[in-house]
Amino acid sequence: MKNDKAYRLSFTEKAKALVSQMTLNEKIGLMAGDETVASSMGGGSYNVRPYTAGGNERLGVPQLKFCDGPRGCVSGRSTCFPVAMARGATFDPDLEERVGQAIAKEIRANGGNFFGGVCLNVPYHPGAGRSQEVYGEDPRHIAKMGAALIRGVQKHNVVACIKHFAFNSMENARFYVNVTADKRTEREIYLYQFKKCVEAGAGAVMSAYNRYAGHFCGSNRYLLRDVLKGEWDFDGFVISDFFFGTHSTAKCIDAGLDVEMHFRKYYNRAFIKAALKTGKIKEEQIDEAALRIVRTLLAFSSSPEECDYPPELIACNEHIALAREVAEKSVTLVKNEGLLPLDRAKHRRIALVGDLCDTENIGDHGSSMVRPPYIVTLRQAIERDYPDVKFDYIPTGKVRDFVSVVKNADAVIVMCGCDHGDEGEFIFTIGGDRKDLGIHKNEVEMVRLAGSLNPNVAAVVTGGNMIRVHEWKDSVSAILFAYYPGMEGGSALADVLFGKVNPGGKLPFVVGQRDEDFPRLNWNAPNVRYGYYHGYQKLDKEQIPCDYPYGFGLSYTKTVLSDIALSYVDENEAVFSVTVTNEGDREGSETPQLYIGFSGSAVDRPVRTLVDFGRVYLSPHESRTVRLCVKKADLAYFDETANAFREEDVRYTAYVGTDEQSAAKHGVDFRFDPPES
């Protein structure tokens, strides 16, 4: 019900009645966080409890109680799930909805009712520092996974807030950079997933720090009033990003920013009353903000409860098991020359190489930081769960001191990549955007040296977005992307490496060969312009080879796709079916993906664009049919002259495969025509 706009709007009259009884001071009181000072960002006391805002005890209006995300509830000692990029690699919206439910339960158990962790910003460049908070590089994939998270979170009467609206894909310059784009790029690439998640029922939106088209997003009337509340008819309320998300009183209120978080810098009584007195804003705008806030909080607080939310839910066994399941299903195997899974009878002596094998590496230490009760590293997991396997741990840079150990090992596991110091929310000297998309130079040397000493090397790569592997991939027999796998990441990785778990994750980004293959970007620039093409669509368009395509991932079993066919089409929708068969002797999964190409379009189009996907889990020798759908409206282009989306009656080609490039081998031409009567 909370995802149903009509349900929320049914509280309009009650909300109006309550707002009409409020004094001006009480209405102003709804519009900002309750903190009296700005607590420091990152570490310390920041985010250890929900941040409250507004509310009206006299009239029974509940407070907004904000908890951040997206890899778990940041308050208390909560469950730390894999980062959103890892969850994007599962390509499993049903699993993501379960994650949303678990996070919401822990927010409720921590005393919160608002989740600020549905991050939808498309990374224009894979070095974007907070990429780990997003599901991948494709807006349609982001939209589908984000909608699933919203459904799960709001099932438990927690308001799901989508962020950062909009164009917030640079970290170092986020407080001042001005982003521009043409209207097609704006609507089809950078606003698409926000619109879809508004349609999915998100109850709140957080504005971004940066400027768009010359105006800070928190005071950007075009984004907030014209598009979000106007064209999209959004019924919820808009909050600012913390500390620096507001730059004025009158401009922000006039633009449609309803709540300043998380303390009163510009939305205090004196400033708002002064703006009213001078006519820069009208009290009707205060009333509108109050109505949106009250209506949304009433709708969520009045809905039936799904269950009780005692403190015992926080980091409970069920949620920790889910975090481990998600980590297992996210691990993405991109190369395997017969080494994996490791055989405990054959591979009895292992060399664990690299500091990250024994580092608690769960991602960013900024506002998304979760403080779980414990974290399992790969070294700890092997020691605990595989006691019959003997291993030697060799820190990064020490391989030359242990040449004989590496050479004589039955197998070598090298762990490399990023940690919170390399990427994430930019706080003084840590985090920020990545200037180099590869691993550290000393890690390149480590991997190459290990590979020269032993033919049986598996490399595990951690990080929040694409990491270049081109210069060392031929030195190893296997490569896995682990992303930031959460508190049970070490357990999941050990089980994948030793074959207890069959990997089935798919790359939510393309793995390029050179940094130059991606858009040129100065991370500290005061002005940037985002182009239409990025990621796999840019490489396709420019015919640039990649090492591993978007949507790619291997398994320990063999799956095949067959009987790809158009099963239904009318003037609005086309449905395709594909049979997925597990021909192997062990359980596994596959993710058929539907891409669309265009013939005769009036505008420049991608070679192929993802429109749907569906992960299916199969027993040995089992077959299942998967339905993949595309709506004509979702293939419309934005006509800048008409300032509207335009659907085309052209020939389309449907491509179905297990990744973006394999899909090119299976093309089915079709048109959106009404069925014959």
User: In whole angstroms, what is the distance from residue 609 CA to residue 600 CA?
Assistant: 16
Residue 306 and residue 334 in one domain: no
State yes or no: pLDDT of 248 exceeds 60.
Answer: yes
Q: Measure Cα distances from 520 to 149, 407, 469, 524 in Å.
A: 32, 41, 20, 12
pLDDT higher than threshold 60 for residue 522: yes
Distance of CA 101 to CAs 72, 73, 299, 363, Å? 11, 11, 18, 22
Q: What is the pLDDT of residues 255-297, one digit of tens each?
A: 999 999 998 999 999 999 999 999 999 999 999 999 999 999 9
Mean pLDDT of 648-671: 96
Q: Which of 516, 548, 580 is the last residue of a domain?
A: 548
Residue-wise pLDDT tens digits, 590-632: 999 999 999 999 999 999 999 999 999 999 999 999 999 999 9
In a domain, 123, yes or no: yes
155 inside domain = yes
pLDDT band at 47 (very low <50, low <70, confident <90, very high): confident
Q: How many CB atoms lie within 10 A of CB 630?
A: 23
CA angle 526, 528, 531 (to 5 degrees): 175
Strands (E), 430-558: 430-432, 457-462, 478-481, 511-512, 527-529, 546-548
In this prediction, residue 4 carries a pLDDT of: 87
Q: For residue 318, is it within any domain?
A: no
Predicted confidence at residue 677, as pLDDT, reads: 45
Domain assignment present for residue 352? The answer is yes
Would you tell me how many other CB atoms lie within 10 Å of the CB of residue 401?
10
- Do 59 and 99 fall into the same domain? yes
Residue 588 falls inside a structural domain: yes
Could you tell me if 453 and 473 lie in one domain? Answer: yes
* Residue 618's CATH number: 2.60.40.10
Largest CA distance in the chain: 81
Q: Given this model, what pLDDT does residue 38 score?
A: 59
Nearest-10 Cα torsion for 88, 90, 95, 100 = -20
Q: Using CA atoms of 541, 547, 551, 554 in order, give the dihedral in degrees to the nearest 10.
A: 160
Residue in this structure with the two tokens 């951690």, named with its chain if needed: 462
pLDDT at 109: 98
How many distinct structural domains can be found in the chain? 3
My answer on whether 530 and 576 are in the same domain is: no
Mean pLDDT of 37-62: 81
User: Which residue among 513, 548, 583 closes a domain?
Assistant: 548
In terms of pLDDT, which residue wins out, 47 or 579?
579
3-state secondary structure 303-321: CCCCCCCCHHHCCCHHHHH
Give the per-residue pLDDT at 37: 61
| Final residue before a domain boundary, out of 312, 334, 355 | 312
CATH number of the domain to which 460 belongs: 3.40.50.1700
Within a domain: residue 454? yes
Task: Decide if 473 is inside a domain.
Answer: yes
CA distance linking residue 326 with residue 321, whole number of Å: 9
In whole angstroms, give the CA distance from residue 451 to residue 647: 53
241 given a catalytic annotation? yes
Instruction: Provide CB contacts within 8 A for 270, sequence distance 6+.
Output: none
Distances (CA, A) of 305 to 2, 157, 295, 301, 515: 11, 7, 18, 9, 50
Residues sharing a CB contact under 8 Å with residue 642, sequence separation 6 or more, in sequence order: none
Confidence at 675, pLDDT banded by 50, 70, 90: low
Type and span of the H or E element at 330? helix 317-330
Domain ranges, residue 638: 559-670
Mean pLDDT of 510-536: 97
**Interatomic CA distance for residues 227 and 212, integer angstroms:** 13
Residue of 68, 235, 241, 422 with catalytic role? 241
What percentage of the chain reaches a pLDDT higher than 90?
95
Q: What is the CATH number of the domain that holds 108?
A: 3.20.20.300
Do 373 and 265 lie in one domain? The reply is no
- pLDDT, one tens digit per residue, over 133-144 is 999 999 999 999
Q: Write down the pLDDT at residue 429.
A: 77
pLDDT confidence of residue 194: 98
CA distance 413 to 496: 12
**Do 140 and 245 lie in a common domain?**
yes
Q: Is there a single domain that holds both residue 490 and residue 618?
A: no
Cβ-count burial 314-340 (b if 16+ within 10 Å, e if not): bbbeebbebbbbbbbbbbbbbbbeebb
Identify whether 553 is part of a domain: no
Say which amino acid occupies 77.
R
| Domain co-membership, 412 together with 378 | yes
Task: Please name which of 666, 605, 607 lies closest in space to residue 184, comparing C-alpha atoms.
Answer: 605
Tell me which residue of 155, 145, 137, 196 sits closest to 615, measured CA to CA: 145
Residue count (the chain): 677
For residue 11, give the amino acid letter: F
Same domain, 104 and 28: yes
pLDDT of residue 666: 85
Confidence label for 430 from pLDDT (cuts 50, 70 and 90) = confident
36 and 160, same domain (yes or no): yes
602: CB partners within 8 A, 6+ apart: 637, 646, 648
Say yes or no: 359 and 434 in one domain: yes
To the nearest whole number, what is the mean pLDDT of the chain?
A: 96
82 and 231 in a common domain: yes
Report the sign of the C-alpha dihedral through residues 485, 490, 491, 493, in that order.
positive
